């Protein structure tokens, strides 16, 4: 039985080694990149300090409308980077993705720079990690490789001969083989955690991509003779007031993103709580786009709570820097295993090919 598992382990690893290597390397890059932003997380101050901190948002949105008359502001991403720049995605008037993003200073509202959406190093790594830049085809390849990596994690532990005896009495070091074995045993828990959660998240994303798009509800027609004002000219509440109020109400949370309300749509504020359990780390709060009053909270379905927990466990969204450091260190383990595994396979192949010749020479000498 162990021989069959060992053979399946080797061939599954060799068949998916390229995609698995890209998957692990890009995931490690995302972990390392995110660690640089931990020290620059947005701090929660008093209500007055917060309103001054976000005052620039109310100035930036009209400036963006004037600078980009054919576009409108979409999702606003809060940033934990040292320069405190926030990113505003631009959309066409019809709601289509324009592929542009503007960096703004949330305190002054000054437009800092214009970039092509999805071209930052983080976005590049995310596309590589999620789909290999191949769209749905890449997602399928990543999904198959993630399942293969899950299989490799389980069979890798099972094929160690006498695993408990090996742990208690085996040699502490025996070259590359020991490095591969010990790292595989130590990192097996994290490998299973990442593969299970990653597979679930990717399957959910793929299902959302392939399901038929639902038609958007049409706005009610205006009464005859009445002029309906453009969406951009409709009154809206102050974003700085909304963000300062929600920050004061939830001081243990960080602002992740803001979706400005237009027409009858409310303002949505997405927040992160690093201290909460995995299934409660992310929450969305809604506010009336005209009065700024908080709207009744919606119950989060159980399925979405599971997805939130999956994402939190997969990305390591924790408050403790020590825990995140463990995530980063364990993220290097799969890369080392990908190198040492094929190396051991090549060494074993060479050893087996030389064994018959040695036996023939020994038989001749005896004769």
pLDDT, tens digit only, all 367 positions of the chain: 778 888 888 888 888 999 999 999 999 999 888 766 554 444 444 455 556 778 888 889 889 888 988 888 888 988 755 457 898 988 877 666 667 889 999 888 899 888 887 777 888 999 999 999 998 899 999 999 999 999 988 888 777 666 555 555 555 556 787 788 888 888 889 999 999 999 999 888 877 666 544 443 343 343 444 444 444 444 478 888 898 888 888 888 888 899 987 777 899 999 988 888 888 888 999 999 888 899 988 888 888 899 999 999 998 877 677 888 899 999 999 999 999 988 888 888 887 777 665 554 554 555 4
Helices 17-35 and 2-15: angle between axes, nearest 10 degrees: 70
Backbone angles phi, psi at 358, to 5 degrees: -65, -40
Q: Give me the sheet containing 97-104, strands edge to edge.
A: 111-116, 97-104, 86-92, 71-77, 254-259, 267-272, 282-287
Find where tokens 């997405």 sit. Answer: 270
Distance in angstroms (rounded) separating the CA atoms of residues 68 and 153:
51
Backbone angles phi, psi at 39, to 5 degrees: -75, -15
Residue 330 near residue 193 (C-beta atoms within 8 A) = no
Nearest to 107 by CA among 272, 239, 301, 299: 239
Find where tokens 């700024």 sit. Answer: 292
Distance in angstroms (rounded) separating the CA atoms of residues 139 and 206:
7
HSE-up of 177 (CA within 13 Å, CB side)? 12
* pTM given for the model: 0.76
Find where tokens 């890059």 sit. Answer: 29
Which tokens belong to 365?
């000498």
Q: What angle do CA 45, 260, 279 make, to 5 degrees?
A: 65
CB atoms within 10 A of CB 316: 21
Contacts of residue 345, Cβ cutoff 8 Å, sequence gap at least 6: 10, 13, 14
pLDDT given for residue 336 in this prediction: 92
Nearest to 303 by CA among 194, 200, 199, 191: 200
SS3 label, residue 107: coil
pLDDT given for residue 96 in this prediction: 64
Residue 256 near residue 41 (C-beta atoms within 8 A) = no
pLDDT given for residue 49 in this prediction: 55
Nearest to 119 by CA among 105, 134, 136, 99: 99
| DSSP secondary structure code for residue 294 in this structure | B
- Strand partners of residue 116: 100
SS3 label, residue 162: coil
Residue 20 near residue 338 (C-beta atoms within 8 A) = yes
Distance in angstroms (rounded) separating the CA atoms of residues 212 and 90:
25
Distance in angstroms (rounded) separating the CA atoms of residues 323 and 331:
12
């Amino acid at each position: 039985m162990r021989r069959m598992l060992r053979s399946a382990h080797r061939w599954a690893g060799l068949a998916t080694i390229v995609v698995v290597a890209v998957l692990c390397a890009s995931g490690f890059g995302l972990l390392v990149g995110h660690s640089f932003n931990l020290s620059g997380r947005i701090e929660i101050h008093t209500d007055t300090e917060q309103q001054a901190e976000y005052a620039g948002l109310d100035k930036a949105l009209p400036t963006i409308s004037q600078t980009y008359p054919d576009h409108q502001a979409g999702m606003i991403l809060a940033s934990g980077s040292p320069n405190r720049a926030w990113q505003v995605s631009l959309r066409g008037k019809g709601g289509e993705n324009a592929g542009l993003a503007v960096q703004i200073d949330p305190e002054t509202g000054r437009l800092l720079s214009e970039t092509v959406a999805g071209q930052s190093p983080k976005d590049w790594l995310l596309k590589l990690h999620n789909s290999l830049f191949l769209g749905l085809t890449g997602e399928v390849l990543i999904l198959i490789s993630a399942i293969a990596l899950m299989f490799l994690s389980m069979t890798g532990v099972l094929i160690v001969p006498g695993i408990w005896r090996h742990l208690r009495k085996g040699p502490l070091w025996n070259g590359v083989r020991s490095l591969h074995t010990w790292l595989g045993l130590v990192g097996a828990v994290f490998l299973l955690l990442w593969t299970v959660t990653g597979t679930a998240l990717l399957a959910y994303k793929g299902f959302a991509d392939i399901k038929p798009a639902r038609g958007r509800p049409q706005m009610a027609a205006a009464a005859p003779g009445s002029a309906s004002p453009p969406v951009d000219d409709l009154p809206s509440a102050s974003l700085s007031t909304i963000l300062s109020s929600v920050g004061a109400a939830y001081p243990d949370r960080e602002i992740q993103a803001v979706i400005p309300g237009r027409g009858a749509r409310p303002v949505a504020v997405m927040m992160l709580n690093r201290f909460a359990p995995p299934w409660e780390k992310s929450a969305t709060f809604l506010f009336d786009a005209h009065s700024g009053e908080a709207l009744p909270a919606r119950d989060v379905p159980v399925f979405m709570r599971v997805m939130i927990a999956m994402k939190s466990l997969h990305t390591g969204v924790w408050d403790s820097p020590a825990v995140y450091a463990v995530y980063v260190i364990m993220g290097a383990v799969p890369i080392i295993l990908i190198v040492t595994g094929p190396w051991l396979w090549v060494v074993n192949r060479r050893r087996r090919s030389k064994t018959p010749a040695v036996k023939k020479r020994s038989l001749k000498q005896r004769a």
